[in-house]
Amino acid sequence: MCGRTCLTLEPSEITKACRYKYRQDKKVKSCKEKCEKTNHKEEQQQDELEPEYRLEFNCGRKYCPSYNLAPTDITPVLVSSHHFYDEEDSNNHINNRLVVPMMWGMIPFWHKGDWRKHGLSTNNCRLEHMLESKLYRGPFKRGQRCVILCEGFYEWQTTKSAKPSERAAHLLYMPQKDGIKIYDRNTWQPENVNLLKMAGLFDIWEDEHGDKIYSYAIITFESSKIMSWLHHRMPAILETEEQVNNWLDFKNVSDEQALATLRPATQLQWHQVSNIVNNSRNKTEQCNKPIEMVKSQKPSMNKIMSAWLNVRKRKEATLAQSGSDLDDDELQNDQSCGTATTSESESEMTIAAKRPRFRDYKRALRNLQNIEDQGELTADANDTICQSDSEGKTVN
């Protein structure tokens, strides 16, 4: 099974990371042959080529590099150029590979209506049922084979009994050259990284306006020993350049030969990652880092705390509604009362044995307001009011 991938490369970087050896037969004259004017000697020469990146509209959806790619996202895949050029153009094309952005999750070409509503689970294609499946048999027979590119894919450990939210997540990737850490972009360049490549099938869906969406499914089968400790399913990983070529070259490699290239991977590396990758909306660089390097994780909201906050919000709303029944004078007096009481010294406040009632404060403060308006507030009046506040008596 494969449910998330990581690919942080830009389109121009992806083509550099996908360079491959192209074999071309050339006739070369040796010095001896030139002198003796003998026949040409046929020599096989290898050239390194960079696949072309072909932009597709895909109904307005675009590829965005991400540490956490999920189904329905657009990701780059390798395909044979024969799917996009006619026979004559393909023969004139030395480069027989293209990188095409496609949507993860195959949309059947025969689906009618909104592409989001085909109602099928098409992220992964089980190899065991591929040839009997109405969904996958057609694309396979038409040679619509592709290679999904990524730096690594995420998998959750299901072999141990645990709730889905508690399962440990891991990033799996190909072995790298010395000094390269797949989770640290500062340690590698696109030219020297070993991308993980998975076999898949693609289809082309077209809406009523003629706009197309290219989409794919990843082929999976029973896990081998290298991954059975983690999950019972694994993607069909293409480890060698020969496997990649045989899977893509539908013109020269038969269906039977192509299927024979799909075998369990023998070399994989992995490390546990933080559970922030569980949420596909988390796209930060912490997603693919070893869990011990992640200093802080965003904790999930505790259910009890969430319930408590909801109750508190309801209480605050109730209090706010009941407080609105008070007139403006009462609210202003209440605020002034609070200001007056805070000016009391601690000794005076401790003397108060009985808490004054609100109406007593109201009367005292109204009298105080009248005195302030007349400009006749004196120190004796202040002392009287303070005494009234502390003893709970009214001031006349």
For 341, the enclosing helix (H) or strand (E) is: helix 328-342
Distance in angstroms (rounded) separating the CA atoms of residues 219 and 259: 11
- Choice among 13-22, 142-151, 362-371 with the minimum mean pLDDT: 362-371
Q: How confident is the model at residue 310 (pLDDT cuts 50, 70, 90)?
A: low
With a cut of 50, say whether residue 334 has pLDDT above it.
Answer: no
Q: Residue 18's closest CA among 248, 220, 323?
A: 248
With a cut of 70, say whether residue 34 has pLDDT above it.
Answer: no
Q: How confident is the model at residue 385 (pLDDT cuts 50, 70, 90)?
A: very low
143 Rama sector, left if φ>0, alpha if ψ -120 to 50, beta otherwise? left
Q: Residue 127's closest CA among 200, 196, 70?
A: 200
Distance in angstroms (rounded) separating the CA atoms of residues 327 and 325: 6
Q: Of the residues 2, 6, 146, 287, which is catalytic?
A: 2
| Under 8 Å between Cβ of 81 and 96 | yes
Average pLDDT over residues 27-45: 42
Average pLDDT over residues 208-219: 96
Q: What percentage of the chain reaches a pLDDT higher than 90?
A: 59
Can you give the pLDDT at residue 375? 54
Specify the CATH class of 4-25+43-299 in words: alpha beta
Can you give the pLDDT at residue 119? 85
Distance in angstroms (rounded) separating the CA atoms of residues 333 and 234: 72
Give per-residue pLDDT as tens, 152-188.
999 999 988 778 888 999 999 999 999 999 999 999 9
Q: Residue 2 catalytic?
A: yes
Can you give the pLDDT at residue 330? 45
Can you give the pLDDT at residue 329? 47
With a cut of 50, say whether residue 26 has pLDDT above it.
Answer: no
Can you give the pLDDT at residue 87? 65
Q: Residue 234's closest CA among 139, 159, 183?
A: 159
Q: How is residue 333 written in tokens? A: 């007096």
- Residue identified by tokens 């082929």 is 219
Give per-residue pLDDT as tens, 186-202.
999 999 999 999 999 99
Can you give the pLDDT at residue 154? 98
Distance in angstroms (rounded) separating the CA atoms of residues 347 and 31: 113
Mean pLDDT estimate for the chain: 80
- Give the 3-state DSSP-derived string for 209-251, with helices as H, strands as E and coil as C: CCCEEEEEEEEEEECCCCCCCCCCEEECECCCHHHHHHHHCCC
Can you give the pLDDT at residue 22? 76
- Choice among 15-29, 226-240, 358-372 with the minimum mean pLDDT: 358-372
345 SS3 class? coil
With a cut of 90, say whether residue 2 has pLDDT above it.
Answer: no
Distance in angstroms (rounded) separating the CA atoms of residues 172 and 233: 13
First to last CA, the chain: 84
Residue 256 DSSP class: H
Higher pLDDT, 394 or 22: 22
Q: Residue 71's closest CA among 105, 107, 100, 117?
A: 105
With a cut of 90, say whether residue 81 has pLDDT above it.
Answer: yes
Q: What is the dihedral of CA 238, 242, 247, 250, to 10 degrees?
A: 170
CA 222 to chain centre: 26
Q: How is residue 74 written in tokens? A: 């657009």
Higher pLDDT, 118 or 246: 246
Give per-residue pLDDT as tens, 43-64.
444 678 999 999 999 999 999 9
Distance in angstroms (rounded) separating the CA atoms of residues 90 and 113: 34
Q: Of the residues 56, 146, 151, 155, which is catalytic?
A: 155
Can you give the pLDDT at residue 165? 82
Q: What percentage of the chain reaches a pLDDT higher than 70?
A: 66
- Choice among 52-56, 108-112, 304-308, 325-329 with the minimum mean pLDDT: 325-329
Q: Which residues are CB-neighbours of 30 under 8 A, at least 6 positions away?
A: 41
Q: How confident is the model at residue 42 (pLDDT cuts 50, 70, 90)?
A: very low
Residues of the chain with CATH 3.90.1680.10: 4-25+43-299
Average pLDDT over residues 57-78: 96
Can you give the pLDDT at residue 162? 76
Can you give the pLDDT at residue 381? 47
DSSP secondary structure string for all residues of 98-146: EEEEEEESPPPTT--S-GGG-----SEEEGGGGGG-TTTHHHHHTT-EE
For 370, the enclosing helix (H) or strand (E) is: helix 358-374
The answer, as to whether pTM is greater than 0.85, is no
Can you give the pLDDT at residue 54? 96
Can you give the pLDDT at residue 85? 84
Can you give the pLDDT at residue 175? 98
| Under 8 Å between Cβ of 108 and 118 | yes
Can you give the pLDDT at residue 125? 98
